[in-house]
C-alpha cells in the first residue's frame, strides 16, 4: 500500500504535535499578533482622520492654527516624527533592561508595561482625553516594533540556524493567523463595543503571551546550556547604547540597517498614498472613523491570508533548500516591479494591490529570512543591535520618507512612485549585501534537538 507524501498543512500539524517548544512559539506569536491587529485598524483610522482636533492635544492644534499652518495637511508627518522621537528616547531604556536583567525577567516585565499602557488608553478613550489619538498612534507603533523584535530575539535563544530554517515559517504562520483573527474581531465588534472596549480585547491576548514566555523559558535555558555549558542564561551586560555601536562597526548589521531603512521607505510611500486616498473617501462622512477602521481591517485581512498561504506552502521549503537569498531578493524585485506599474498607472485599486503585495512579501519571506540570520550572531547583536535596527532605524525610515512623500505629492502620484522605484532599488542593494555578509559568518556546530525539560 503506497503512502501519499504529507502535505504542507499535514507537516505543520505533525510538527506542532511533536515539538512542544514549536507549539508554544506558534501560540505566542498567534496571541501577540492577534492583540496587535485588534489595535492596528484603530491606529490607522487615527492617521486618516480629517479632524486634527480629535487626534492631537488642543495646545498643539492651537499652536499650529496661531502660526497659520494647517495641521491636517501635516498630520501623518507629525505623527511619524513623534513616533521616531519616542523610539530615540526609549532606546537607552531598552538597552538598560537588556544589560541588567535576564531575559526571563525583562520579557514578562515588558509585556506587563504594555498591558498597563493599554489600561491607561482605555481610560483616556472613555474620558475622551484631548490628544488621545496621537498618543495611541505613537504607542501602537512603538509597541508593535518592540514586541515583535523581542519575540524573534527570544526565538533565536531557542532555535539554532538549521532548526530555524525548518520552523520559522511555521512560527510566522502562527502570527499570520493572529493577523487574520485580529482584524476580523475589530471589523465585527468595533461598532457594537466601541473603540475603547477593543483595547480590553487586546489586553486579554497580551496576557496569554506572558504565559507562553513562561513555558518557553525552560527550552531557552536548555538551549543555553547546550550552546555554552552554562546551566542558566547570563545577563548580557554592557552599555545601554551598545546596539547602535554594533551597527556602526559590524558590516552585516550595517547592511541590515540599510535594508531596513529602504524597505521601510517603500512601505511608507505606499502607506501615505493610501492614507490620502482614504481621507478623500471619508471626507464629510459622520462615521468616518468607523468606515476607515473597517477599510484598513479589510486590507490587513487580505494581506494576512496571502501571507499565510506563502508561509505554509513556500517559506519553509525555500529556506530549507536555498537558504535566505531568494527570500530576501524576491520581495525587493517584486516591489520594484510594483512601483514601476504604479508609475505608469497610479490607480487607487492598484495602490491597494501593491500595498498588499509589498507587506505580504515582507511578512512571509523577507522577515523570516532576516530572523534566521540572527540565530547565528551573539546575544548582544540579537537583543541590542537588532532592537535598534527594528525600532530606531525602522522609525527613522518612517519619518524620513513621510516627509519625502509630502514633497513629492505636490508633483502627483506618478512622481511618488517614480522615486519609489529608486527606493526599491536601494532595498534590493541592501538585500544583496546582507546575503553576501551573512555567508561570512562561522558555521554553527550541529546541535541536538532540545528535549522537553522535566
Indicate whether 452 belongs to any domain.
no
Reading the block at residue 348, the C-alpha cell is 487607487
Indicate whether 157 belongs to any domain.
yes
Q: Exposure pattern of 316-332 as b/e (b: 16+ CB <10 Å)?
A: bebbeeebbbbbbbbbb
Q: Sign of dihedral through CA atoms 183, 266, 87, 77?
A: negative
Indicate whether 453 belongs to any domain.
no
Indicate whether 447 belongs to any domain.
no
CB atoms closer than 10 angstroms to residue 210: 19
Contact 75, 52 (CB under 8 A): yes
Tell whether pTM > 0.75: no
Indicate whether 287 belongs to any domain.
yes
The enclosing domain of 391 has a CATH number of: 1.20.1250.20
Give the domain range for residue 91: 10-438
Reading the block at residue 312, the C-alpha cell is 505554509
Q: Annotate 192-256 with DSSP letters as a single string.
A: HH-HHHHHHHHHHHHHHHHHHHHHHHHHHHHHHHHHHS-SSPPP--S-TTHHHHHHHH-HHHHHH
Q: What are the pLDDT tens digits along the chain (454 aa)?
A: 445 555 555 666 666 666 778 889 999 999 999 999 888 888 877 777 777 887 888 888 888 888 788 777 788 788 888 888 887 787 777 666 666 666 667 788 888 989 999 999 999 888 888 888 888 988 988 888 778 878 887 887 788 767 777 787 788 888 888 888 887 888 788 777 777 788 899 999 999 999 999 888 887 777 766 665 554 455 554 444 566 778 888 899 999 999 999 998 998 898 888 878 877 777 666 666 667 767 777 787 788 788 888 877 888 788 878 888 888 898 888 889 989 988 988 777 888 888 888 888 888 888 888 888 887 777 777 767 877 887 788 888 888 998 899 899 888 888 999 999 999 999 999 999 999 998 887 765 444 444 433 3
Q: How far apart are CA 107 and CA 111, in angstroms?
A: 7
Indicate whether 78 belongs to any domain.
yes
Residue 241's closest CA among 110, 105, 88, 375?
Answer: 88
Indicate whether 102 belongs to any domain.
yes
Q: How far apart are CA 295 and CA 290, in angstroms?
A: 9
Indicate whether 274 belongs to any domain.
yes
Q: For the chain, how many structural domains are there in total?
A: 1
Q: How far apart are CA 333 and CA 326, in angstroms?
A: 10
Contact 293, 42 (CB under 8 A): yes
Amino acid at each position: 500500500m503506497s503512502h501519499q507524501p504529507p502535505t504542507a498543512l499535514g507537516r505543520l500539524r505533525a510538527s506542532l504535535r511533536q515539538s512542544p517548544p514549536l507549539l508554544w512559539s506558534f501560540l505566542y506569536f498567534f496571541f501577540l499578533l492577534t492583540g496587535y491587529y485588534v489595535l492596528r485598524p484603530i491606529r490607522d483610522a487615527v492617521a486618516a482622520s480629517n479632524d486634527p482636533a480629535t487626534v492631537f492635544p488642543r495646545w498643539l492644534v492651537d499652536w499650529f492654527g496661531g502660526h497659520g499652518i494647517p495641521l491636517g495637511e501635516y498630520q501623518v508627518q507629525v505623527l511619524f516624527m513623534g513616533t521616531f522621537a519616542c523610539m530615540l528616547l526609549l532606546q537607552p531604556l531598552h538597552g538598560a533592561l537588556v544589560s541588567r536583567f535576564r531575559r526571563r525577567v525583562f520579557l514578562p516585565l515588558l509585556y506587563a508595561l504594555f498591558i498597563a499602557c493599554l489600561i491607561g488608553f482605555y481610560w483616556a478613550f472613555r474620558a475622551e482625553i484631548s490628544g488621545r489619538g496621537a498618543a495611541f498612534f505613537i504607542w501602537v507603533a512603538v509597541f508593535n516594533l518592540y514586541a515583535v523584535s523581542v519575540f524573534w530575539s527570544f526565538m533565536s535563544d531557542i532555535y539554532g540556524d538549521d532548526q530555524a530554517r525548518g520552523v520559522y515559517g511555521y512560527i510566522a504562520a502562527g502570527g499570520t493567523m493572529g493577523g487574520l483573527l485580529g482584524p476580523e474581531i475589530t471589523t465585527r465588534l468595533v461598532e457594537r463595543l466601541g473603540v475603547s472596549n477593543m483595547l480590553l480585547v487586546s489586553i486579554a491576548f497580551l496576557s496569554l503571551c506572558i504565559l507562553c514566555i513562561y513555558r518557553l523559558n525552560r527550552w531557552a535555558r536548555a538551549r543555553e546550556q547546550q550552546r555554552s555549558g552554562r546551566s542558566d542564561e547570563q545577563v548580557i551586560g554592557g552599555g545601554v547604547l551598545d546596539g547602535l555601536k554594533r551597527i556602526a562597526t559590524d558590516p552585516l548589521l550595517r547592511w541590515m540597517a540599510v535594508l531596513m531603512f529602504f524597505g521601510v521607505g517603500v512601505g511608507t510611500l505606499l502607506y501615505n498614498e493610501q492614507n490620502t486616498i482614504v481621507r478623500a473617501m471619508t471626507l464629510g462622512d459622520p462615521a468616518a472613523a468607523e468606515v476607515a477602521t473597517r477599510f484598513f481591517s479589510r486590507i490587513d485581512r487580505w494581506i494576512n491570508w496571502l501571507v499565510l498561504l506563502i508561509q505554509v506552502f513556500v517559506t519553509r521549503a525555500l529556506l530549507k533548500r536555498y537558504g535566505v537569498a531568494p527570500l530576501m531578493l524576491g520581495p525587493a524585485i517584486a516591489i520594484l516591479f510594483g512601483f514601476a506599474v504604479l508609475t505608469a498607472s497610479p490607480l487607487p485599486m492598484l495602490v491597494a494591490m501593491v500595498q498588499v503585495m509589498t507587506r505580504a512579501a515582507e511578512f512571509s519571506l523577507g522577515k523570516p529570512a532576516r530572523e534566521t540570520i540572527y540565530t547565528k550572531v551573539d546575544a548582544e547583536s540579537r537583543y541590542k543591535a537588532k532592537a535598534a535596527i527594528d525600532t530606531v532605524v525602522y522609525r527613522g525610515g518612517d519619518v524620513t520618507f513621510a516627509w519625502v512623500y509630502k514633497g513629492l505629492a505636490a508633483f502627483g502620484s506618478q512622481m511618488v512612485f517614480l522615486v519609489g522605484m529608486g527606493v526599491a532599488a536601494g532595498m534590493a542593494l541592501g538585500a544583496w549585501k546582507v546575503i553576501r555578509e551573512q555567508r561570512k559568518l562561522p558555521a554553527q556546530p550541529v546541535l541536538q534537538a532540545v528535549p522537553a525539560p522535566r
